[in-house]
Chain A
Amino acid sequence: MSLFTFLLFVLPFLIIGGAIFLVWIGKNKDRNREFPLQHQLRSDKGFNPAQERATKSSEL
């Protein structure tokens, strides 16, 4: 693929895709900041969905 084709037909999609990806990363980061306990549970070996639901409902 030539640079000409890349700049005109691929780059615009890459830019939009890049923006969506950065927003997705940002949203995940925000979520982890809002619910740090859930994040910790997920990273633990013994992740328990029932416990996570209980945590969420108690937080709410």
Chain B
Amino acid sequence: MLNLATYWIYQAEFQASAAFVGYLLIIIGIGVYASRFSSQGISEYFIGGRRMNRYVVALSAVVSGRSAWLLLGVTGMAYSIGVQAVWSVIGYIVVEIALFLYFARRLRRFAGAKNIITIPDFFSERFPLHEKWIRIVLVGIILVFMAGYISAQFVAGGKAFSSGFSIDPALGIGITAAIVLLYTVAGGFLAVSLTDVLQGVLMLFSLVVLPVILILHLGGWQHIVTELATFDAALLDPVALGFGALIGGLAIGLGSPGNPHIISRYLSIADESQLQTACIVGTIWNVLMAWGALFTGLAGRVMFPELASLPGADTENLFPFLAQQLLHPIIFGIVLASVFAAIMSSADSQLLVAASSLVRDVAEKILSKGQQLPQSRLVLLSRIVVVILVLVSLLMGYLAEDLVFWLVLFAWAGLGAAIGPPAILALYWKRTTGTGVLAGMLTGAGVTIIWRLTDSLRSLSYELIPGFIAALLVTILVSLATSPPDDSESHFSIMKGDGE
């Protein structure tokens, strides 16, 4: 009998591992497939030659922004605080609708007209008199915040490997980094975008299948609500933690317009009119994934009422643990792959953004001083920079495994506060000046860091809120105090699509 049980466990582990390895082989295959296209030049390597279609951009923009936070963090949050977790997803979903429909269209029109590849490129073309300083400041901000962000994705991958396959976390970190490195170095933006599509499908599959099976397993939704009410009525109260928590949750959405790994997706679409379909597809994906995570957390609380019954008494283990308990081993392997999909889809996009800043903005635009460098040399340099960035992030992940997670919290906030308000104003307010934008960027980054490091301030609100407001105000005030730019009219004519 014991032998039969042991055989079954090995069989289940083998099936789950086979499904997972199958996923890894597919994404590495995509990297190899995309490598020829990406070798043509840095426009192809960093933004897919601006030839991505609406569905690829929709899913790529949505899943790049979510990371493991949605699968592990939001499910854990709904488990702990109940329905109040909904506020943390509403904000970014609504903001991203506006980004697809309005922000992205103007950005894409301007990018097409001015051959813009990176976000620093956009600001430099918009404010050419301040090009050098804008590139230096923005590259600094992107590298500071992105390094921790990428390390944290690798550390999350290591933990997921450890809990899913009982592998040493340090080895898991290395394997995650190696896989992301392989397909990103070879295939660049095309590989990252195509793998994002596969990863988006896997994430949606897991976040729909798991809660449905879980709710049926527990005897229906009404039974779950009754059980939750008996544990703690606050789990069913959307405002139990007060108005401040509600605003803090909604404010997460303020980060979306400033995170370059999300907005660089909009630069890659073949035609700006396709952004409308991309908006609908992206929103459906965002909503289904977010509500799937919420239902999983709420029903998971009924399945495991005591925190101690979760591995490591950690709410972030709820999602994979539920999948292991409830699903067929092959489906469990796919769900586990979806956790990695979430991690990798963010890490690869962040890696490309950081590499593009160094190659395009530093090597090509600042150091070469206007000299034309051969595209083949720039692509080679891009690949070398990706390898170096992976090694640096890997080192950070090993040296500061516990520290990197708090870096993630303010990486989203720091990028959102430093880049978001200047980008919105540069696209919508003709009076915005280069000096105003520079002041706003430095203020957004500075306020976020100071707020995060000061205990008394941190307890007041999420650092993104004061950082975003301060950057917005400073950009406006400094712009008003400096001379208006001469070329705003022509820039706005391009951004509005006049004369098309």
Chain A positions within 8 Å of B, measured between CB atoms, are: 3-4, 7-8, 11-12, 15-16, 18-20, 22-23, 26-27, 30
Contact = CB atoms under 8 A, between A and B. Distances in A.
B238 A7 contact: yes
A20 B236 contact: no
A22 B236 CA distance: 32
A16 B94 CA distance: 10
Contacts of A27: 276
A26 B101 CA distance: 8
B97 interface: yes
Contact of B287 (A3, A7, A12): A12
A4 B78 CA distance: 13
B144 interface: no
Given A7-B238, A23-B280, A30-B273, A16 B83 contact: no
Nearest to B290: A12
A47 B283 CA distance: 38
Interface hub of A3, A8, A20 (most chain B Cβ within 10 A): A8
Judged by DSSP, the binding face of B is helix
B489 to A, nearest CB: 19
Interface of B: 83, 86, 90, 93-94, 97, 101, 236-239, 273, 276-277, 279-280, 283-284, 287-288, 290-291, 294-295
B289 to A, nearest CB: 11
B271 to A, nearest CB: 12
A17 to B, nearest CB: 10
Nearest to A27: B276
Contact of A23 (B94, B101, B290): B101
Contacts of B291: 8, 12
Contacts of A20: 280
Contacts of A30: 273
8 contacts: A3-B238, A3-B239, A8-B83, A8-B86, A8-B291, A15-B97, A20-B280, A23-B277
The 3 closest A-B pairs by CB, nearest first: A19-B283, A23-B276, A12-B287
B287 A23 contact: no
A19 B86 CA distance: 19
A14 B21 CA distance: 39
A22 to B, nearest CB: 6
A3 B90 CA distance: 14
B101 to A, nearest CB: 6
Contacts of B279: 19, 22-23
B109 to A, nearest CB: 13
B287 A4 contact: no
Nearest to B282: A19
Nearest to B97: A19
A33 B288 CA distance: 34
A22 B238 CA distance: 27
B223 to A, nearest CB: 15
B90 A4 contact: no
Contacts of A18: 97
Interface hub of A8, A15, A19, A27 (most chain B Cβ within 10 A): A19
B461 to A, nearest CB: 22
B238 A4 contact: yes
Contacts of A11: 86, 90
Nearest to B239: A3
B498 to A, nearest CB: 10
Given A15-B97, A23-B279, A27-B276, 14 more contacts: A3-B239, A4-B236, A8-B86, A8-B291, A8-B294, A8-B295, A15-B90, A16-B284, A19-B97, A22-B101, A23-B101, A23-B276, A23-B277, A30-B273
B243 to A, nearest CB: 13
Contacts of B280: 16, 19-20, 23
A15 B239 CA distance: 20
Given A7-B86, A15-B93, A15-B287, A26 B276 contact: yes
A30 B287 CA distance: 27
Contacts of B236: 4
A29 to B, nearest CB: 11
A16 B280 CA distance: 7
A20 B277 CA distance: 9
A27 B294 CA distance: 33
Contacts of B97: 15, 18-19, 22
A30 B283 CA distance: 21
B499 to A, nearest CB: 11
Contacts of A4: 83, 236-238
B294 A16 contact: no
A22 B239 CA distance: 29
A7 B101 contact: no
Given A8-B86, A8-B294, A30-B273, A16 B238 contact: no
B346 to A, nearest CB: 23
